[in-house]
Amino acid sequence: MSDAHHDHQSLIRTPKQLVIAVTGFFLVIVLGIILLVTFVTSTATTGAGTDGQNAEAISSRIRPVSEEGFTLVDANAPRILQAGSAVYAATCAACHDSGMAGAPKTGDNGAWGARLAQGYDTILKHAIEGIRAMPAKGGNPDLDNLEVERALVFMTNKSGATFKEPAEPAPAAAEASAGTAETPAPALTAATASLPAAPAAAAAPALASADVGKKAYDSACIACHGAGIAGAPKFGDKAAWAARLGQDAAVLHEHAIKGFQGKTGFMPPKGGSALPDAEVKAAVDFMVAAVK
How remote is the C-alpha of 8 from its chain's centroid? Answer: 88
Rounded CA separation 165/117 (Å) = 19
| Tally: H helices and E strands in the chain | 15, 2
> pLDDT band for position 229 (50/70/90)?
confident
Q: Tell me what pLDDT residue 14 has.
A: 85
| Cβ 137 vs Cβ 215: under 8 Å | no
Chain segment 79-101, per-residue pLDDT in tens: 788 888 988 998 898 889 888 88
Q: Tell me what pLDDT residue 167 has.
A: 81
Mean pLDDT value of segment 190-207:
45
Rounded CA separation 212/52 (Å) = 59
Rounded CA separation 255/251 (Å) = 6
Q: Which of 59, 48, 123, 127 is closest to 91 using CA atoms?
A: 127
Q: Which positions ≥6 away from 249 have C-beta within 8 Å?
A: 284, 285, 288
CA distances from 63 to 29, 54, 55, 68, 164 (A): 47, 14, 12, 8, 47
The percent of residues in the chain predicted with pLDDT above 70, rounded, is 72
Q: Which positions ≥6 away from 151 have C-beta within 8 Å?
A: 84, 87, 88, 91, 92, 127, 138
Mean pLDDT of the chain: 77
> pLDDT band for position 50 (50/70/90)?
low
Predicted TM-score (pTM) of this structure: 0.40
| Cβ 97 vs Cβ 106: under 8 Å | yes
Q: Is the pLDDT of residue 150 over 60?
A: yes
Q: Which residue has the higher pLDDT, 235 or 192?
A: 235
The percent of residues in the chain predicted with pLDDT above 90, rounded, is 14
3-state secondary structure of 77: coil
Angle 235-239-242 from CA coordinates, rounded to 5° = 95
Q: What are phi and psi of 266, to 5 degrees?
A: -130, 135
Q: Is the pLDDT of residue 164 over 50?
A: yes
Q: Is the pLDDT of residue 194 over 90?
A: no
Most confident of the following: 31-45, 57-71, 139-153, 172-186: 139-153
Rounded CA separation 289/292 (Å) = 5
Q: Tell me what pLDDT residue 73 has.
A: 57
Chain segment 51-64, per-residue pLDDT in tens: 566 777 777 777 65
3-state secondary structure of 126: helix
CA distances from 106 to 96, 110, 161 (A): 6, 10, 11
